[in-house]
Structure 1
């Protein structure tokens, strides 16, 4: 006598009750990433439109700020040397990118592969996007009488300001979990001083308009927002708990091996 067919296994809960599966949840997180990034990009887009349309109040602000800072620079040659050292050595984009590159190598040694990839992608995307926007806008740099400094290429947005924003954000979000909680305001303050300071040096030396610097900050922030939210969606998708900027991107970096070997299930 033939055996009756074995009962089939019940469908997964998300199919029986209509709740979304893991792929749908991951897609929803990526959609949120795109929406938030678009929202954060609005200030940069507005700055771009105002620059391209040569909005008179913005041009007046740019020229007035450049003129005042240039006059102050001409009166204080020693201060110009300090600014030149800060902008071409301490906060130079090459210096910032080397710091991020060293961080990526350190993360690879610690087998924090996701975090290393995020840092590398963020720094690379920032550099390439900045160059692309510069070429598309092709804004001339300030032409001031008796210039105290020179810089090649186009002006909008400021590559120094954008690189400082993304690099400081990468360093903060990766290394913050290693800093004792009571000392965490210090790296935040150092990052803020670096980002604002490099913007000041570029305008004070007469190689950028104020709007170039502000646009660089905004565009750098948009890049970091996009890659960070994508990283967070990836992190949650593999079973890690959500984090906040105060915690850093991956608090598990404090352990000797922040990522388990391939094939080892991760805890939620």
Structure 2
């Protein structure tokens, strides 16, 4: 029977495997922390929604009424938010993710391309399922400035804005040079989801709890999928290293 020599433990393949595992541990920990930091407050809001908590209901009503008054008094604001919601529809982020995935696949970064597709698709499906499970009705005004169909919790626009920008940032930031450019990308990644969430409440088609939950879920999904795909990537690379 053939036995490995003591020196085999220090072979290049072993070092690659060890380094990959250490890197996986660090990245997985970061992803887990990000997921928990997003899922815990989401769970709290979801629990309050299910329990029909009076405090959350009152907050939703007050914010909705105040922003509806503002939208009614400022048609320009309403038009701007309508255009924003139209241009930054969930399908816009899905299309951007698809283009990004194709670009990655052409560069032979297949696993990363699959991560982009799986994350966007998974987040979209999860959002739709949760809407059906919670069955929260949208705000109803006598003089609405906009209309939307379906249930409202969590907000699909807010979820996909946070999800899409997170995916784009995670892929593009490591490839971007220059502090100013990187800072601009991060700023856009923060501002775009926040304005999208604000627009949905101003237009009277979502409660504030809907959009906050959507933003949190949009951050949690990529954090979870990063951990899953990191594990898969390290297993593949470790296997290749041992083959060599």
Q: 1:225 to 1:264 in 2, by over 3 A?
A: closer
1:123 is aligned, of 103, 115, 120, to 120
CA contact (8 A) 2:144 2:204 kept: yes
Q: What runs of 5+ residues in structure 1 fail to find an aligned partner?
A: 1-5, 14-20, 241-262
1:111 is aligned, of 108, 113, 116, to 108
Could you give the per-residue CA deviations for residues 206-244 of structure 1, whole angstroms, max 9, x where no partner exists? 00000000000111111111011222333343449xxxx
CA contact (8 A) 1:138 1:156 kept: yes
Q: Does 1:163 align with 2:157?
A: no
How far does residue 62 in structure 1 lie from its aligned partner after superposition? 0.6
How far does residue 46 in structure 1 lie from its aligned partner after superposition? 0.8
**Residue 42 (structure 2) aligns with:** 44
- Partner Cα separation in structure 1 for residue 31 and residue 192 of structure 2: 28
- Partner Cα separation in structure 1 for residue 93 and residue 52 of structure 2: 32
Q: Taking structure 2 as the reference length, what is the TM-score of the superposition?
A: 0.84
Q: Taking structure 1 as the reference length, what is the TM-score of the superposition?
A: 0.77
Q: What runs of 5+ residues in structure 2 fail to find an aligned partner?
A: 10-16
**Residue 87 (structure 1) aligns with:** 85
Could you give the per-residue CA deviations for residues 156-186 of structure 1, whole angstroms, max 9, x where no partner exists? 0000000011100111111112321312110
Could you give the per-residue CA deviations for residues 52-101 of structure 1, whole angstroms, max 9, x where no partner exists? 11111111111000001000111111211111000012x11111111111
**Residue 132 (structure 1) aligns with:** 129
**Residue 176 (structure 1) aligns with:** 173
Higher relative contact order (Cα pairs below 8 Å, separated by 6+ residues): 2
2:223 is aligned, of 222, 225, 230, to 225
**Residue 12 (structure 2) aligns with:** none
- Partner Cα separation in structure 2 for residue 176 and residue 39 of structure 1: 22
Report the number of matched residues: 229
Give the SS at the match of 1:83: helix
User: For the pair shown, which has the larger CA radius of gyration, 1 or 2?
Assistant: 1
- Partner Cα separation in structure 2 for residue 40 and residue 98 of structure 1: 25
**Residue 60 (structure 1) aligns with:** 58
Give the SS at the match of 1:220: helix
How far does residue 142 in structure 1 lie from its aligned partner after superposition? 0.3
Could you give the per-residue CA deviations for residues 1-39 of structure 1, whole angstroms, max 9, x where no partner exists? xxxxx78556986xxxxxxx98xx69x969969964456
